[in-house]
Each structure stands twice: as C-alpha cells, then as structure tokens.
Chain A
Amino acid sequence: MAESGDAPVDKPVQVKLVLLGEAAVGKSSVVMRFVQNDFSENKEPTIGAAFLTQKCRLEDRVLRYEIWDTAGQERFHSLAPMYYRNAQAAVVVYDITKASSLEKAKSWVKELQRQANPNIVIALVGNKLDLVQSPAAAGAAPAGEEAEDEEADDATATPGEGGEQPLPEPEQEGESLRQVPKDEAAAYAQEAGLLFAETSAKTGEGVVEVFTEIAKKIPIEHILASTRGGSGSRAGGAQARPNVTLQEGQQPAGGKACNC
C-alpha cells in the first residue's frame, strides 16, 4: 500500500497520534470515519485502547498515522500515559451537545501540555455536528443514510433503539441541542494554541480536514531526525505547508483498517 504512483520512495514518516476525550463523544467513530470512511451507530466502547493506521500523502512525502484511540471512561484515565507517550499529535474530542465533555477535553489538553511530548500538536475537535444541523442545511442526509444502509444488517432488528440513544434525533431539535458554542471552544483553542474544528463522524464533515491540518503542522523534519533509522531524505517541503491529500481515506471501498 505504500506504493502510490508518484510518491518519492522514502519510507513513510510515522506519526503517532492519540485520541483522547470523554466516553462516547465519538473518538472511535471519528477514527473509523478517517480510516475506513465508515460509521456505525453502535460502536463498542473502547477497552484500554484501539490501534489503527492510516496514510496521508503530503506533496512529496507519505505520512503514516499510527492512531491510538483510547477509552474515554474516567477510570481509564490512569492508563492514558501509556498511549500518549511519544505521541507527536493528539486529537482531543468533545461532544458539542454535551457541555461537560469540553471541560474534560480541557483537562486533557492541560495534561498533554504538561506531561506529553513538548512538541505535540494538539487538535481540539467538537464532534456530532450533525446533531445540531438542520438536515437540509447540512447536506448531510445522503451521507448519513448511506452509513445507515451499510449497516442495515445490524440495524433492522432494533426498532426501539432510537429511545436508547443518548441524543434525540437531529431533525427535531436543530441547533438547540448544542451546548458548546463554537465561538467559545474556538476562543479557548486559540488561547491554548490548539487546532480547532467541528466534525461529524456520522456525516464525515470535517473529519479528514482535522488530520490534514495536523499533518501540516507536524514538524516532520524533527521527526525524521529523531526516529530510529530515520535515514529518510530531509525534504524542505514539510515546513512550506504543502498540500496534503489523503491517500485513500476518501474512497469508501478502499479503506481498510490497519492493513497498511
């Protein structure tokens, strides 16, 4: 999979990325959208952490994300250092329909800034954007339906399921479900020096962009210099913020978890 046409023959630059955030904010769903371009309503909670990989292509370099998707429940907190050690990037996720999840996200940011790799690139991501958008405006409906169709097998037998979902259907509630104003989170991100985006793992909106923005900001030079056996060429492209294109995440058929 590493071969992709015109990419230079360098080994892909490995970037270790960790996902943190309160339980059920959609960390695993964001990763699944990024890696497999897929979404499923009932994702098992992550136990400990899950590991996935996905490649990105910068102008002249392949970047390989090694993604650690951690468990969100508070009591797993003490395990987190195991996963964020040596991480070059972190995506801290909160749920825009749940105010407390932003507080948790802030405390993760604080911890990362104090305990993790000093050069770590952190992105703050407000997920479940689809829940606060009217279906028409979002243009999300097709993607959403598609996702549901894909897992029709699982879903057919669950008529009562809607009631079990922690959040009501977006169509009825619209923007009123939002508990975290975009401005507020953005201002905080700005102040703390984080990348910021709002996403929907369900519709896919904004997800890929998060990872491309991170890719742009990663000091690739630095990584190349420090990785073991990092004999790769030191192209100056990284700092010039080249275009980043995702190698395969966008093709629903092609994505396959951790097979690269």
Chain B
Amino acid sequence: MTTISAQFRNYREPTKDEGIREFFNAHPAGPDDIPPTGKDVTEISAVMSLKGEDQSYSGRLYLMPPFLAFVSLDRKSARFTLPLYTIRRVEKVNSRAGMFELSLVLWHQMKINVQLTSLRPTADSFCAQLRDALKAQLPQMKKLRPFIRVCYSEHLIKQDGEEYIDAEDDVKDGLEDGVDETIKEAQTEFLGGLGLTFKFPGDPKKLREKSKLKLWKEYLRTHGRNVTLVRYPSVQRLIQVGLPNRLRGDLWETLSGSVYLRFANQGVYEGILAKHKGETSTSTEDIEKDLNRSLPEYRAYQTEIGIGTLRRVLTAYSWKNREVGYCQAMNILVAAILIYMSEEQAFWLLEVLCNRLLPGYYSPSMHGTLLDQRVFESLVSRCLPIISDHFHTVDVQLSVASLPWFLSLYINSMPMIFAFRIVDCFFAMGPKVLFQIGLAILKINGEKLLEIQDDGGFIHLMRDYFNTLGDSAHPHASDSRMRAITNFQELLVVAFREFSVITDDTITSERKRHRNEIVSGIESFTKRAAVRNLKESGAFKKEQLGAIYDTLYKAICAVSASGSGASALAALETTDAQGRPETRIDLKTFRIFLSNVATWARDESIVSNAFVERIDRTVAEHELINRIFFFWDVSHRGALSFQDIVTGLNGVMFNDLMSNIEWFFTLHDKDKDGFLTRDDVLQLSESLLFIFRNEIGDAYLGTVSNFMTNAFEYGDALQPENNEKAEVPEGERAPEPPTNTPYLNLATFRMVVLADELLESFFDTDFSATFKLDIYPGPESPSESTGLIAGIGGLLSNLITDENKKTLNRFADEFGKSIGRHQVTYRPAIGKVDRDMALQEPKTRESLLSPQIRDRSMSSGSLTSGASSTSLAASTSEPLTPGLLPPQLPTIPALPERTPFAIDEVQDDDEDEEDEDDLVVTGGDETLDERSLTSLFKVDAFLQENA
C-alpha cells in the first residue's frame, strides 16, 4: 500500500507572497531571511532601466530578502532577481519634483536605475526596508567572489572571445588521445559538465556555437550574468535559438534559479555524500540498476567517470529528498543535465526540478505526472477540440504518448539536440512550455492524427514526426529561406505563437481544477491494489477490507494534517518481504485508527449546547492499545502494515467465547510462555477496566473486582511452589510471590472468566462487537481500465469541512456555556448495562477497594483513578439510543425510546453525587456472598473437568 505524499494530499494554494517568490525563484535561504514582522514581500511600482541603455520598463519592484526583484508590467519583457549581496551601493539619483530614483551599483559595476513611482511616503518606507535588508546581507558578500569566479559566464566575458573559442577547438582535436590534462586545467578554471571532456552532442558548426557564444558574451557584459542577470527581450530570442553548449549549464542554473540555492547551500552536496557514504537503500539499489541504462549512447556514460558522476548526484538526491527517492526518468534527466553542469550544479537543479518545476512528478504516487497529464488532456480538448474528439471516438489515450514527453522533458522522445532546446525554454519560462510544445506537436500533426485508429498508430505517428524534426518543414518551397526552416523551428514557432494563450495562470488554475479528481483516482487505485495484494484477508469481505483501508488511510491523513509538514510522517514507507514499497503506521497513527474501529479505543462525549447535540470523539490512550499494537507487529518493526492490521483484526473480530478468552490471554501474556504472571493479571484487569471505563453503573467494576479476587485466589491455589514456601521461616509472613513468574495458565484464566456472567457475555459477543467497520461509500471508481481519473471529492474535502466544523462547534459551545446549556456526557463502549441494572448491582465496588488489591493496583498506575472517574461521569449519562448499540445486543428491554440525546432528560450534577452514594451504601453482603458462592461452585466444577 503506497500512499500519496502528505504534501499533495494536504495541498494548499500558495499565498500571494509565496506566489511572488515562486515567480522570481527567490526563495528564502533560511528562516533568517523572513522578517519577524511576517510581512515577507514588499512591493512598489517602479520604472527600471540600465545605465547606458535606452529602454526602460515600468513594472513592479519587490523586496523579499535576500532578493530584490523586478518584473515589467507585461511580465515578460524585462525582469531580474538580484540577490542583495550583489549590490555594492545604492545611490539616490537627484530626483525631479517628487520623483524618487535609486541607482543600484552591482559588484561588477553595472548600474540598474529604478525609479519608484509610488507616493513619497511609500517610497521612503521601501527605501528604509531596503537599507535594512542590505545590511543584513552584508556577511554574504564575501562569499560572492569565490562563488562567482568559477562560473562559466564570468570566464566567458573575461576572455577574449576569439582566442577562447580556438582553445575550445583544440580541446576537441585532442580528444582522441590523452586530453585529460587539458581538461583538468579547464575544469579547475570554471564549472562545467561532462561535455567538456566527452564533447557535447551535436555538430558545433551546425549549431553555430561560435556566433551564439559571441552574442551571449556581448549581452552578459552589459546586462549582468549568473546571479545578476537582467533579462531583456533579447534574452528570450537568444534562448529560443538554443543556448550555446558551453554556457548552457551556467544559464540553466541562472534561469531556473537553482544558482541561488547552490549559493545558499555551499558544501551541502558534498556533506550529504560524505554522510551517507557506503549506505544503501531501495533507492540506491534502483539507481544501480539504471546507471548503465542512462543515455548509454553518450560516451561519458560508457566510462566509470560518467557513471560515477551520475551515481553520486542521483544517490545524494535520494538522500536529500527521501520522499521522492529515485524514480526512473530522473536518471535520464540527470544524465542529460550532467553533460552541461558540474555535479553540485546538477544536484541543485534537480532540487528545483523536483520541488518547483515538476512538482510531484517523481514522487512514489507520481501524482504530479498524472495531474499534468490530466491538465494536458483538458487543454487539448479546449484548444484542439477536433483532435480531442477524434481521440475519444477511436478510444485513443493521449497520455500513452504524452506521458514520457513530460516525464523526461522530451529528452527520451526526440533527438537530444532538439530536446535540449526545449529544456532551455523550459528553464527560462517554466512548466507551461511543456504544454505549449505538446499542443504544438499535436496541432502540426493534426491532419494525420485524425486518421489514426488506435494507440499504436498514435505512437507511430509521433515517433516518425520526432525523427524528422531536423528536416525541412517546407521541402518544396521555392524560397530557399523557407526551405531552410526545419520542423523543429516550426514547432517552436507554433508553440510560442499559437499557444501563447497558455500562461502560468492557465496551468495553475487547471491544476487546481483537476487536483481532487487525481487524488481520489490515485486513492481508489491504491486501495484496490492494497486490498488485492493482501496475502491473507481472513474472514473479511472485500468491502470490509476496503473499510479497514479507508479507516487506516484516514488516520494517516489525520496525523500528517495535524503534524508540522513533512517532519511528522504518519506513514513510514518501507518495503515488504518482496521489496515492494509498503506503508506502515506507527503507534500514534494506530491509536487514531483503532479509535475509529473499536468503541473502547475512543472517548465519545455527547455534547449538547444551546443549538445541537453532537458527538465529540477523542482518541483514548492506554497501555492496552500499545499492547495490541505490539501484539500485531509480528515482524517486530515497530510499525504495522495494512496486512498486519487486517490479520490482527481478523484475529479478534470473528472470535467466539473461547477464542476471545484465549486472545485476551495471549495479548497479556508478555513473554508468551502460556502463563500470565501476577503482573500480567493486574495489567489484564486494568485493560478490562479501561474497556469498561465508560459503562454505566458499577456492574462492570464489580465484575473486574471479582475477576481479580478469583484470579489471585486460584492462581495462588494452583501455584506449584506453594509447597516450597513452607520452607520460609516461621514468624515471617511468606513474602509475596514474585510478580513476574509464571502464575496463571489459560485453563485457569478461562475458568475465572466463566465464573462471571457479565465477563462471559463480554468475551462471548460483546467484545468482538466493539469492533465496528464503517463502510464508506468511498471514491470507488467503476472503471479501473481508464486509469486513475475517476471520482471526485475524496477525503480532502472532508478535511476541509472538518476544520470549519470545529470552528463552528467551538463557537456553539462557548455560546451554550454562556447561557448555561452546555452538557457533556460520555458514551459507553459496550452499552449493555443500562441504568436500572447498574442500580441493582452495586456491591462489587467495595471488594475492588479492598486493601490487598488496592496495594497492587497502586503499583500499576492509573488503574482506579482513571477508570473510576470516567465511569462516574458515565453514570450520569442517558441510556443510549438504539442505533448506538452493538447490533448483537437487542435484548435490552429497559432501553427507552427517545430522541437521541434529549437535553431535558439529562440529570443535573447534584443527583450524580447521590447516585454514587447510593450505589456504595446499598451494597448488601448477602448478595455478595451468594455471588461468590456460585462462582466458586462453577470454578470447582470447571477444575474437575479440566484436571
């Protein structure tokens, strides 16, 4: 049973501030970066220009430590994300009437002018905040130089271009023999990927590397680079013609914002590798399987150098992000990235990919992938309805082709040189690019797509198309320039012109629209799989297993929702004996689970305020529950799997009298030697008291008391070492026998139980009946065949409304209290004994408090205190409504027919006290003796039988 990540399940839309940070890739490096005021992002209208350039752009300026960021009003022409530690000075330019202009002088002397166009006070306050934020970042400044020095972009603009590119050719010529020295030299100078050693894919001449590098060099000289890059419209154009290979890694880092993460986390990558050296996990095993299978046609990955690099990045990331671990396709992505970047750069880019750009794509449930496939489907039906209709008609599923496109950023689908150009755009413009390209592919192939008849035809067509991306799009055109346009160029043009309507907002809102559908789809799939994969399902029917699963799942969600994010993992992802991933739950989650299954594992109070009655459930805590947890944990993992729970429940829910007695006995037989020790007996009694704590009246209390008396009486009588005790010197009372030696065997225990009618009935039917499975209608999707996309709502919506309900309830309670109409009563777990019966069986209380037993019970903590106080509370409660009773107990004639929880019937507190006194006082010795006698008689008979 795998579960959806808590992150996805408890998904919440980002706040406005988070959204802004997201847009600028400007995430705080640590908690220090968020001002204590809580106001994270300050923004102001501004006009931005670069010193020495004509263009200026009006837009918004944002201060969000440690960054200052700007974007033009159209959100694409101009933007920057400047770390504050790159700003050397801020000068106030002499302002025209009321105008407020700042000149930001960066470490490399570039000047960015920003004119704050807001009202004076706003601008003043912005400046003040900027000043403070700059001061706070001063310590970071000294880290900047060594960090920047090895960036290829720095290297590029320092060198004389022509000379440099010649050097590049030398490297290539030397590749055949002994180039390693040249390479090493180059690598110490600047960061780069395997491509420096093993060549970059594609023909540098055809790719026009030289001229591209030259253009970039000019641009970077005047517009900042790496962490200070200012993006003007020409950047967009430069990106769309394809980044030059040597600069690609550097720019990917900059455009995606992963460079900021790398700056903020220097040394972390190496640290993770060192910390986990030699360790293995399922992820590392999976990684090993795939190392030789990642872009095997690229030369670097036929050598130990390349394989080692790939191994380190993938394993380090699997340690960093345990929830994701490793997913096939990541190997291809990372192998690709590593051609252009150093390991550490690739590591942080992978972090940005998994967390931000492709959220949930690679997680165990792959919910992000499924969600985006759904979004893509919906965009296709909106933008290309004819194709979409045809697909429906011939029953072709879009994702059979499109899923790998998204999952491997087209790297697996088209020739690498083209895929990398899409990746260029993707890092620059975000996930919408994947959708735009996908739509363009379909649109361009529209006519042929209308002829396909099945999935296979679709795949074929796509494959053929990808194989001709380098061909002319207009081979028969008379104009030679037209002929020169390749299919790939056409693809980009269609993607970015015709599908420019697809914006970040489109994707965000589409994801939002389909999220619940995907959640419930995955849920019902995992549920079916979990139920199907059970090795033993005992006497349960399929719906009951489903109900157990649902309850379990609800418990996991409740824990992760209450916990603070990922740190509180309710579900432990482990692997089963076959190495399949398996979710196990810890004790805390188990308590919640059990509280929803067994009536005695929760406290249910009936609260009536001025408006309504409702039942509040709280999870009970008791040694008994822990005991069951460890009893069911047959593989001693400290956590229970779905199978453990099913087997466990099966062992108790369908029991008859004898097997229930045995179950209870074994549960308390700590060392499983077939004997209860005296301690065990006490614990067992305590467990009984716990179960009975909310029962009405004292009948159960008396029963437990009797049980203990009898148990110890017969236990003592049957002690074989009783004879030995004769050797104890006279005059000294025989010492209490040690509490931890074998004492009571099953036969004796059985006998003692059967001596009491109430206990007998408890073990016969009542106990099993306290386990109840709620069968939810649930998001069971009728058609697994169509995948995961079925059903709506799911538990997510429940959680949301639960939150609201709580607030409402709190309000109502307060109000009820204020007008004196607030009542709380406890609901019993068994509910068999009603008020009248309780009054008839008062006497047992005394024996419970007899000195001998009290002494013992003191030693074991909460025995009397907890139990009796709750039962006092219970004694005030109304008899239960029929619906609340176990169905197996219809024979309760005293049960009055009433509307549930009628307020007016509840007795007030004074009466309680009296009741209690009555109960104690009316305890007649006569009855007690009688009872004991009959019990003894029964026991004797039993002993004889079993002798």
Q: Which residues of A contact B (CB under 8 A)?
A: 14, 23-24, 40-49, 51, 53, 66, 71-79, 81-83, 85-86, 100, 103-104, 107, 110-111, 114-116, 154-155, 157-158, 160-161, 164-166, 228, 258
Contacts and interface: CB of A to CB of B under 8 A. Distances in A.
B293 A154 contact: no
The 10 closest A-B pairs by CB, nearest first: A103-B578, A42-B296, A85-B785, A51-B459, A48-B403, A157-B302, A48-B404, A160-B304, A45-B328, A158-B302
Counting chain B residues whose Cβ lies within 8 A of the other chain, the interface size class is 35 or more
Given A49-B400, A107-B533, A81 B522 contact: no
B31 interface: no
A114 B529 CA distance: 10
B455 interface: yes
Nearest to B292: A42
Given A47-B407, A74-B581, A161 B292 contact: yes
Given A44-B294, A78-B522, 13 more contacts: A24-B290, A40-B296, A43-B293, A47-B404, A66-B454, A73-B286, A73-B327, A78-B370, A110-B533, A111-B529, A164-B292, A164-B307, A258-B460
Nearest to B311: A164
5 contacts: A72-B328, A74-B580, A75-B581, A78-B526, A79-B366
Contacts of A75: 2, 327, 362-366, 581
B785 A51 contact: no
A51 B297 contact: no
A104 B578 contact: yes
A88 to B, nearest CB: 13
A75 B370 CA distance: 12
Interface in B543-587: 577-581
B303 interface: yes
B328 A73 contact: yes
B127 to A, nearest CB: 50
Nearest to B533: A107
Contacts of B765: none
Contacts of A14: 454
A205 B521 CA distance: 41
A165 B292 CA distance: 8
Interface string B451-492: 001111001100100000000000000000000000000000
Nearest to B395: A86
Contacts of B290: 23-24, 45
Contacts of B297: 154
Contacts of B784: 81, 115
B785 A78 contact: no
Contact of A66 (B327, B397, B456, B529): B456
B667 interface: no
Interface of B: 2, 286, 288-297, 299, 302-304, 307, 327-329, 331-332, 362-366, 370, 397, 399-400, 403-404, 407-408, 412, 453-456, 459-460, 463, 522, 525-526, 528-529, 532-533, 577-581, 784-788
A86 B366 CA distance: 23
Nearest to A71: B328
Contacts of B328: 23, 45-47, 71-73, 76
B399 A82 contact: yes
A78 B400 contact: no
Contacts of B332: 44, 47
A100 B578 contact: yes
Nearest to B369: A79
Nearest to B327: A75
Contacts of B407: 47-48
A115 B788 CA distance: 13
Contact of B303 (A73, A86, A100, A157): A157
B522 to A, nearest CB: 6
A114 B542 CA distance: 13
A76 B404 CA distance: 12
Contacts of B307: 160, 164
A103 B297 CA distance: 33
Contacts of A24: 289-290, 293
Nearest to B456: A66
B454 to A, nearest CB: 8
A49 B525 CA distance: 19
A78 B412 CA distance: 21
Contacts of A53: 456
A104 B785 CA distance: 20
B891 to A, nearest CB: 42
B299 to A, nearest CB: 6
A110 B532 contact: yes
Nearest to B397: A82
B286 A23 contact: yes
Contacts of B454: 14, 66
A55 to B, nearest CB: 13
Contacts of A41: 292
Nearest to A43: B293
B456 A78 contact: no
B293 A158 contact: no
A165 B289 CA distance: 8
A160 B303 contact: yes
Nearest to B528: A115
A154 B298 CA distance: 9
A164 B397 CA distance: 37
Contacts of A77: 529
A81 B328 CA distance: 18
Contact of B786 (A47, A85, A100): A85
A100 B453 CA distance: 39
Given A47-B412, A82-B399, A104-B580, A164 B291 contact: yes
Contacts of B463: 258
Contact of A82 (B329, B579, B787): B787
A120 B466 CA distance: 33
A235 B328 CA distance: 45
B293 A45 contact: yes
Nearest to B295: A44
Nearest to A75: B364
Contacts of A46: 328
A50 B697 CA distance: 69
Nearest to B460: A258
Q: Pick the most buried of A24, A51, A103: most chain B CB atoms within 10 A of its CB.
A: A51
Contacts of A51: 400, 455-456, 459-460
A152 B370 CA distance: 39
A83 B299 CA distance: 33
A41 B408 CA distance: 22
Contacts of A66: 454-456
Nearest to A155: B302
A102 B544 CA distance: 29
A74 B332 CA distance: 17
B289 A23 contact: yes
Contacts of B579: 100, 103-104
Contacts of B529: 77-78, 111
B286 A44 contact: no
A81 B526 contact: no
Nearest to B580: A74
Contacts of B291: 164
A223 to B, nearest CB: 13
Nearest to B521: A78
B609 to A, nearest CB: 45
Contacts of B528: 115
B7 to A, nearest CB: 15
A258 B533 CA distance: 35
Contacts of B299: 157
Nearest to A228: B453
B288 A78 contact: no
B6 to A, nearest CB: 16
B304 A82 contact: no
A113 to B, nearest CB: 10
A109 B292 CA distance: 29
A165 B296 CA distance: 14
Q: Pick the most buried of B400, B526, B581: most chain A CB atoms within 10 A of its CB.
A: B400
B140 to A, nearest CB: 39
Nearest to A74: B581
A42 B293 contact: yes
